[in-house]
Amino acid sequence: MIAKLDELRSRALGELDSIDTSSGLEAWRIRYLGRKSALTEVLRGLATLPLEEKRATGAAANELRTFLEKTLTLKEEAIRESEIARSIEQGQLDVTLPGRPSALGRLHPTTKLLRHICDIFMAMGFEVIEGPDVEWDYYNFEALNIPQDHPARDMWDTLWMDFETEDGRQPMLLRTHTSPMQIRVMESRRPPVRVIVPGKVYRYEATDATHEAMFYQIEGFAVDKNITLADLKGTLFEFAKRLFGEERKARFRCDYFPFVEPGVEMAIDCFLCNGAGCQLCSGSGWIEILGAGMVHPDVLRRVDYDPDVYTGFAFGLGLERMLMLKYGIDDIRLFYSNDLRFLRQF
């Protein structure tokens, strides 16, 4: 067996001396160091040899493998230098040319729009606050006028988890909306309050062109004395004009959300057809952009705000929906598919 290894060494070195290309070198590596090489077969057959012969043969085979690997590395460097020199001689490589510029990174379209919307509301006097992605049932539902047996819970497909506390397991969840921060902020502050809350929210639902399991939402609310629905309409109308253009028209219609009363949905005239009707607005001339309403008195009572003294409004908008409307994008999954052909457009 030792003689066989010596013969293998001589044959490998002889072939290696005649190789002068990278492709030939790779073929040599597979032939003499690959999983099906003669050297590998020797190592696999050690188990059948007597103990003394096994030790001697194993040591010799491992020594040969180490020697061939080092020789291969030296040959790779020599061939690489030879190829570079040959390219220079043939004029294929001009070392005086400037290097290729590195591609510059860009902000993700959701990040760009998120910052733009925050800037709009900050200019109107709102404070930007973030909250936890993992939330208690109390803040996500109960304190927002959605008790355990309320049918409105079916509006949110919730991802639940158990959290171990001193009192045992307590239900937690990945927040289904950013509205829980209404309660957290009002618990720690007295009016006046004027806040927007950007962040990710999560839904347990199948993804398609208009649904994602994770997306961005921006919650906004204001509480003070003598706030009315007219204040809500004026704030949102101003926001729509700054985001979609000064010529935009707005429409408010009744809607239902458990934590506001009354509830409304806001739509703007279609910026693609200017209200004439097209595929984007489904022929109606209007595009719904967000839901809103006046903060429910029971929500105010939970945070010890007297609803006879204080009133407020709240609204929530989906960030990706805004992007889809603004740029005519028809599939929400494109934002998180990491396709550079799509992202470079922004």
Name the active-site residue from 42, 185, 201, 217.
217
Catalytic residue among 222, 267, 295, 314: 314
Note if 211 is an active site residue: no
Catalytic residue among 65, 177, 194, 296: 177
Distances (CA, A) of 61 to 8, 37, 50, 70: 10, 12, 16, 14
Annotated catalytic residue 223 = no
Q: Is 260 tagged catalytic?
A: yes
Q: Which is nearest to 320 in space by CA: 114, 55, 42, 47? A: 114
Contact 314, 177 (CB under 8 A): no
Catalytic-role residue among 9, 175, 184, 203: 203
Are 199 and 217 in contact by the 8 Å Cβ rule? The answer is: yes
Angle at 183 between CA 182 and CA 188, to 5 degrees: 105
Burial group, residue 177, by CB count within 10 angstroms (0-12, 13-18, 19+): buried
**Which of 260, 295, 299, 303 is labelled catalytic?**
260
The answer to whether residue 296 is catalytic is: no
**SS3 assignment, position 94:** coil
The verdict on whether 156 is a catalytic residue reads yes
Coil/strand/helix, residue 100:
coil
Residue 12: Cβ within 10 Å count: 22
Nearest to 133 by CA among 165, 107, 159: 159
Catalytic annotation, pick one of 156, 185, 222, 223: 156
CA–CA dist 131, 61 (Å, integer): 62
Known catalytic membership, residue 286: no
Give the residue numbers annotated as catalytic, written as ranges. Answer: 156, 177, 203, 217, 260, 314
